[in-house]
Amino acid sequence: MKENYTIKDIAELAGVSKGTVDRVIHKRGKVSPKALEQVNKVLDKIEYKPNPIAKSLKNNKIYNIAILLPDADADPYWLPCYEAIKQIEQEFSHFGIKINKGVFKPKSTKSFTKAADLVIAEKPDAVLMVPLFYKEAEHVAKMCVAAGIKIATFNNYIKEPQINLEIGQDLFQSGRVAAKLFNMLLGNKATLAVLHIDEAFQNASHMQEKERGFKDYFAQKELAYTINVHNIKKESKIPFDQTIENFLKSLDAVDGLFVTTSKAYLLANHIAAYLPKSFIIGYDLVAENIKYLEEDKIAFLIHQDPKKQVYLSLTNLIEFFLFDKPLQESLTLPIDIINTENYPQYLN
Amino acid sequence: MKENYTIKDIAELAGVSKGTVDRVIHKRGKVSPKALEQVNKVLDKIEYKPNPIAKSLKNNKIYNIAILLPDADADPYWLPCYEAIKQIEQEFSHFGIKINKGVFKPKSTKSFTKAADLVIAEKPDAVLMVPLFYKEAEHVAKMCVAAGIKIATFNNYIKEPQINLEIGQDLFQSGRVAAKLFNMLLGNKATLAVLHIDEAFQNASHMQEKERGFKDYFAQKELAYTINVHNIKKESKIPFDQTIENFLKSLDAVDGLFVTTSKAYLLANHIAAYLPKSFIIGYDLVAENIKYLEEDKIAFLIHQDPKKQVYLSLTNLIEFFLFDKPLQESLTLPIDIINTENYPQYLN
DNA sequence: GACAAAAATGTGCTCGAACACATTAAAAAA
DNA sequence: TTTTTTAATGTGTTCGAGCACATTTTTGTC
C-alpha cells in the first residue's frame, strides 16, 4: 500500500505482462478491453509513478541548455550569473547536461539577436534568456516555441504566454520596499528624488516599475512626501561621473535618493560633497556599491540576486529534463534588504 | 575528449574487460601490475566520474531520514519546517526517500531524548535534528556516529566535530544586523533595551549570541548608546502577557527594543500604551509578529527561515545518498531583513 | 473447418554501474 | 611434465522503464 510499485509489480497484480502494462500507461493501444480494465483497476488502487531514476537512465540523453545573457565586462551586475553557470556545470555535467552561453552586449539589440540566432541554430533543448529587449526577446520566444525548444526567462519579464519558466523579482513591490525604508528613516514628511541612472535606456520598463511602486507607497499612505523623478543618461563626450556631479550641483536639497539601477555608486561618490545628510537607497551588490555601503554613503541596497535567479532557472530546467519534475511557470523571488552587516552572506 | 566516458569505454581503451576496470576503480585488488597500469593510464587521461544516475539505479535502496524537531503546537516558529518536510516527501518519495518525524516538546529534555531513542531504534540512514538541548543533542550525535548514521543539525549549533552537515544562521552577526538598523533609525545616540523573552530558557545560548553581536556593533563603532539587558520569563501562575505588561510599566523610557526571540508580538501588543515612540526589532515571521509588523508596531523582523533550513538540509542529504554529491559541512544562511513590504515573498 | 490477416500479448534487450560467478592464465607443488 | 593452487580476467545478471520484435490469440473469409 505504501510501496513504490514497479511495472513488473503491476503486471503481476493485473495478471498480464509488463509490455501490456506499458502500453496501457503510455496509451499506445493494442490492448484488449479486458486487459485494459484489469490494469486500470490496479493503477487506480496504487497510484503509480514511474521510477524517475530508471527513466532517466533509459533516456540517457545529453541535454543542451543555451543561456542568453549580457556581457559582464559591460556591466558587473551580470558577473554572479556566470558563477552560477560554472557551478551548475560542475554539478550536472555528469548528468548529461551541456550549457552553451550566448553573450551579448547589453546596449545592442543587434548583438542580442545575433547571439540568439547562433544559439538557436544549434537546436538546444531549452533557451534561458534575459529579455532585455522586448521586441527581440518576444521574437526569440516565438522561434523557440515553434521549434519545440523550452523557453525560460530571468531578471526581466516579457508578456509572452508561452514561456515555460519565468524567474524574477516583483519590481513594483521592490519600489515599495525602498519607500518603506525611507519612511522609517525620515518619518512622515520628506523630499525624495528618484534617479534613473543608466548608460542606455534599454531597460526603461524595469526602472519605471520600481518608480511606480515607490510612488504608490507614499500615495497609499497619504504621506506628505515630495518626489521628483530624474533621468540621468551618459552624454556622449563627457565622462559619466562628470555628468552625475553636474546633476548633483544643480539638485535642490533632498532627504533621500532612490536609484533604480545598480549605479548608486556613481552618486555615492559625490554625496558627501553635495548632500551630506541624504540617504541613498540603491540596487544590487556590485563591488562598488558594497564599497560605499561600507562607508555608510549608501544606506541600503536591494538585492536582486541574479546568481540565485540563474541557479534556480537552470536547476528547474534540468530536473524537468532528467526527472520530469514540473516546470514552475512563474517564480517571484524575495526582495532582500541589505545593509553593512548582512551583505556577506548574500555573496555566497 | 569531452565525452562522458563509461566503464565500457575505458575497458576498450585499456584493452581489458569492464570487470578489470571496475576492480581498479574500486581498488578491489586481483589485478596484474600490467593491467593496472594500462587502466590507470586511461583513467589519468579522461577523468572518469561514474554516471550518478546509473549508480543510483543499481543501488535502488530506500533511504530513511529521521528528523527530530519541536512540536509546532508549542511554538508556531516550527510550523514552516513541517511544510518543508511535506514538500520534500512529495518531491522525493519516488526516489526512494522516506522521512520519519520525531516530534518533541521544546521545553522537555526528556521528550527530546525519548523521541531520539525511538527514531534511532529504527536505524535510519541519517538523523537531522534541532539541537535545542546541548548535552542531550551531543549524546544523540555520538550515538549516530557510533551507529554509522549520518548526522545533521539545523537552527542551532553544538560543538561536535563529527557532525556531517550544519545549517543555520550566524547569530552573532544577526545581532549586529539589528544593531545597524537601530543605528540607522536613531542616529548616533540612544538608549536601547535587549529583551530575552521566552517561556523557558533552554535556548539561552541562542539569545546570548545575538546579544553579544548587538553590543559588539555599538562598542566597535564607539557610539554613545546605552544598552540594558532584561530577561523575561513566564511566571508560573501569571499569564505571560501580564508579565510583559508589568515589565513595560516598570521600564524607563527607551528608544528601541531588541527582542532576541520570536516573542516580539507580546511586546508589540502593549507598545502603544507604554512606549509609543520606541522601535521594536524582533525575530521570525510568525503570524502574530507579522500582524504587528503590518500595524507598524514592529519596525523590522529578522527572518531565520526555518523552512529553507529544513529544505536545504534534506535536499543536501538526499542528493548525497542518491547521487554522491558531497555534504556541505557547514552552511550559513543569509540574515533576511523584513519589513511590511517584503515579507510576503519570504512566506513562499 | 482451414487458413490468412489482424489484433493482442509476451519476451528480450538497452541504458551504466556494481558485483557475483565462471573461466582462463600463471605460479607453485608434485 | 602433470597436477594443484592461486591469481587474474572476463561474463552475466540486476536495478526499472521503455520500446522493438517475436509469439500467441483472435477475428474474418472462403
Instruction: Please tell me whether any atom of strand C lies within 7 Å of the Cβ of B50.
Output: yes
- Residue B276: per-residue pLDDT: 87
Closest by Cβ to A180, choosing from B50, B91, B340: B340
- What does residue B269 show for φ and ψ, rounded to 5 degrees? -55, -30
Asked whether residue A56 is domain-assigned, the answer is no
Looking at the structure, do residues A152 and A184 belong to the same domain, yes or no? no
Looking at the structure, do residues A67 and A110 belong to the same domain, yes or no? yes
Looking at the structure, do residues A180 and A222 belong to the same domain, yes or no? yes
Looking at the structure, do residues B71 and B183 belong to the same domain, yes or no? no
Helices A7-14 and A18-25: angle between axes, nearest 10 degrees: 110
Asked whether residue B344 is domain-assigned, the answer is no
Helix (H) or strand (E) holding A126: strand A126-129
Which tens digits make up the pLDDT trace of A159-177? 889 999 999 999 999 999 9
Asked whether residue B346 is domain-assigned, the answer is no
- Residue B53: per-residue pLDDT: 97
Looking at the structure, do residues B154 and B180 belong to the same domain, yes or no? no
> What does the alpha-carbon distance between residue A190 and residue A183 come to, in Å, rounded to a whole number?
9
Confidence of residue B203 (pLDDT cuts 50, 70, 90): low
Q: What is the secondary structure of B196-232 as a DSSP string?
A: EEESS-TTHHHHHHHHHHHHHHHHHHT-EEEEEEEEE
Which tens digits make up the pLDDT trace of B217-266? 999 999 999 999 999 988 888 888 899 999 999 898 899 999 999 999 99
Looking at the structure, do residues A193 and A270 belong to the same domain, yes or no? yes
Nearest protein residue, CA measured to C1' of D26 = A32
Which tens digits make up the pLDDT trace of B137-181? 999 999 999 999 999 999 999 998 999 999 999 999 999 999 999
Cell of B104: 518533541
Q: Which nucleotides of D are covered by protein (CB under 7 A)?
A: 7-12, 14-21
Query: Which positions 25-54 on chain A have a beta carbon less than 7 angstroms from any atom of strand D?
Result: 25-26, 50-51, 54
Chain B CA closest to residue A96:
B4
Asked whether residue B237 is domain-assigned, the answer is yes
Chain B CA closest to residue A54:
B57
Asked whether residue B340 is domain-assigned, the answer is no
Closest by Cβ to A181, choosing from B49, B334, B339: B339
Report whether pLDDT(A28) > 70.
yes
Closest by Cβ to B180, choosing from A91, A95, A340: A340
Looking at the structure, do residues A180 and A260 belong to the same domain, yes or no? yes
Average pLDDT of chain B to the nearest whole number = 94
Looking at the structure, do residues A197 and A299 belong to the same domain, yes or no? yes
Half-sphere exposure of residue A113: CA atoms within 13 angstroms, side-chain side: 9
Which tens digits make up the pLDDT trace of A297-337? 999 999 999 999 999 999 999 999 999 999 988 999 999 99
Asked whether residue A211 is domain-assigned, the answer is yes
Instruction: Please tell me whether any atom of strand C lies within 7 Å of the Cβ of A31.
Output: yes
Scanning the structure block, which residue is given the C-alpha cell 531514476? A53
Which tens digits make up the pLDDT trace of A256-271? 999 999 999 999 989 8
Chain A CA closest to residue B168:
A345
Report whether pLDDT(B330) > 90.
yes
SS3 B82: helix
Cα of B54 to nearest chain A Cα, Å? 6
Percent of chain B exceeding pLDDT 90 equals 86
Q: Residue B88's domain is classified under what CATH number?
A: 3.40.50.2300
Looking at the structure, do residues A178 and A274 belong to the same domain, yes or no? yes
The greatest distance separating any two alpha carbons of chain A, rounded to the nearest whole angstrom, comes to: 87
Q: What is the mean pLDDT of residues B263-287?
A: 93
Which tens digits make up the pLDDT trace of A211-226? 999 999 999 999 999 9
Cα of A273 to nearest chain B Cα, Å? 20
Chain A CA closest to residue B96:
A4
Query: In this structure, what is the dihedral angle of CA atoms A34, A35, A37, A41, given to the nearest 10 degrees?
Result: 140
Nearest protein residue, CA measured to C1' of D18 = A58
Q: What is the mean pLDDT of residues A91-95?
A: 95
SS3 A345: helix
Q: Residue A28's domain is classified under what CATH number?
A: 1.10.260.40
Which tens digits make up the pLDDT trace of A129-154? 999 999 999 999 999 999 999 999 99
How many structural domains are present in chain A? 3
Looking at the structure, do residues A188 and A297 belong to the same domain, yes or no? yes
Looking at the structure, do residues B69 and B157 belong to the same domain, yes or no? yes
Cα of B45 to nearest chain A Cα, Å? 17
Report whether pLDDT(B198) > 90.
no
What is the domain range of residue A252?
A: 171-303
Amino acid at A262: S
Asked whether residue B339 is domain-assigned, the answer is no
Answer yes or no: do A217 and B341 touch at CB < 8 A: yes
Looking at the structure, do residues A128 and A141 belong to the same domain, yes or no? yes
Instruction: Please tell me whether any atom of strand C lies within 7 Å of the Cβ of A18.
Output: yes
> What does the alpha-carbon distance between residue A175 and residue A167 come to, in Å, rounded to a whole number?
18
> What does the alpha-carbon distance between residue A327 and residue A125 come to, in Å, rounded to a whole number?
14
Q: What is the secondary structure of A66-123 as a DSSP string?
A: EEEEE-TTT-GGGHHHHHHHHHHHHHHGGGTEEEEEEEE-TT-HHHHHHHHHHHHHT-
Asked whether residue B347 is domain-assigned, the answer is no
> What does the alpha-carbon distance between residue B180 and residue A258 come to, in Å, rounded to a whole number?
20
